Amino acid sequence: MSAVQEALPAVRGSRDATVRRFALTDSIFHATTRAAAILVLVLLGGVAISLFAGSWQALSTFGFSFLTSESWNPVTEKFGALAPIYGTIITSAIAILIAVPLGIGIAIFLTELCPRPLRRPIGMAVELLAGIPSIIYGIWGLFVLAPFLQTTVQPFIISVFHGIPGLNGLFAGPPYGIGLLTSAMILAIMILPFITSITKDVFDTVPSVLKESAYGIGCTTWEVTRRVVIPYTRIGIMGGVMLALGRALGETMAVTFVIGNAHRISTSLFAPATTISATIANEFTEAVGDLYTSSLVALGLILFVITFLILAIARYMLMRIDARTGA
């Protein structure tokens, strides 16, 4: 009994040392993760402040007209961001309209309809598209897609919609091959793997018992997909779409090759245009003068704000969907 009592202080001391060591490790881990989270906010704030500071000269010189003016003339130092903003939003919107149905359709095929031996090869082929550098997409679009559209697709569409009010202006003008529609198609191909991969992964999370129950009461594959799979995974689908939209908004090289880089707004989807990223990439190294450089930095600030607003709206939509589902 005395030996046990003599050993108790040593045991307590060892336990206290272990507890202190665990507490110290936990404190270090907590401080490290908090510092990492704060660092992200500091970096985000630093980027915003530097963009605002760099664009202040242009914003103070042109004021609100910088957002509403189409003019972009480095010789007279008259700059406006409306044309790049228009091109950025239109190309990204068309790319999303093209890529979302295709991406969701491919994901449905891979998870519900594709023969099992083909699922992995097709899935890998789709995901490999995400690894292709954007400049390769741009070169392919300039030398392959644009000539094909110029000689076949665009003349046919122009002739079909020539006499239809409203649509004739949307598909008007000479068939350049390059322009808004071409760049939107390139963007759609680039963001397709993101939508497909994320949608496929969230489709795989649907419990088999839900789908089997639906099939058991006589539902078709379309009904199971529409009423079980998509409602169950809509938050994940929305997240994938927003990730793809962010990728499309900031794309530079591929769009620069095929959009035409023209600082003007046209109702025709076949007309050359420009985007914020393409304008910055084309002109930043050649910018002469503080006002010219400040205007380009202001374009970067506008793109930063657009991306932030779209992600904030997406987050709000996800919260609404989640709250409605929980209710």
Could you tell me the pTM of the whole model? 0.85
Give the model's pLDDT for residue 49.
92
Give the model's pLDDT for residue 327.
45
Give the model's pLDDT for residue 204.
87
Q: Which H/E stretch holds residue 78? A: strand 78-79
Give the model's pLDDT for residue 3.
56
| Contact criterion met (CB below 8 Å) for 268 and 172 | yes
Local confidence pLDDT in tens for the 327 residues of the chain: 555 555 556 555 566 677 777 788 888 889 999 999 999 999 989 999 999 999 999 999 988 899 988 889 888 889 999 999 999 999 999 999 999 999 999 999 988 888 888 888 888 888 788 788 889 999 999 999 999 999 999 899 888 888 788 788 888 888 888 899 999 999 999 999 989 988 988 888 888 888 888 888 888 888 888 888 888 888 888 888 888 888 888 888 889 999 988 888 888 889 899 999 999 988 888 888 889 999 999 999 999 999 888 888 877 777 776 676 554
Q: What is the largest CA-CA distance in the chain?
A: 107
CA 125-128-132 angle, to 5 degrees, is 140
Between CA 314 and CA 305 the distance in angstroms is: 14
Between CA 51 and CA 294 the distance in angstroms is: 9
Question: CA torsion 263→266→270→271, rounded to 10°?
Answer: -30
Between CA 172 and CA 168 the distance in angstroms is: 6
User: How far does Cα 3 stand from its chain's mean position?
Assistant: 70
- Enter the tokens of residue 263: 């600082």
Give the model's pLDDT for residue 326.
57
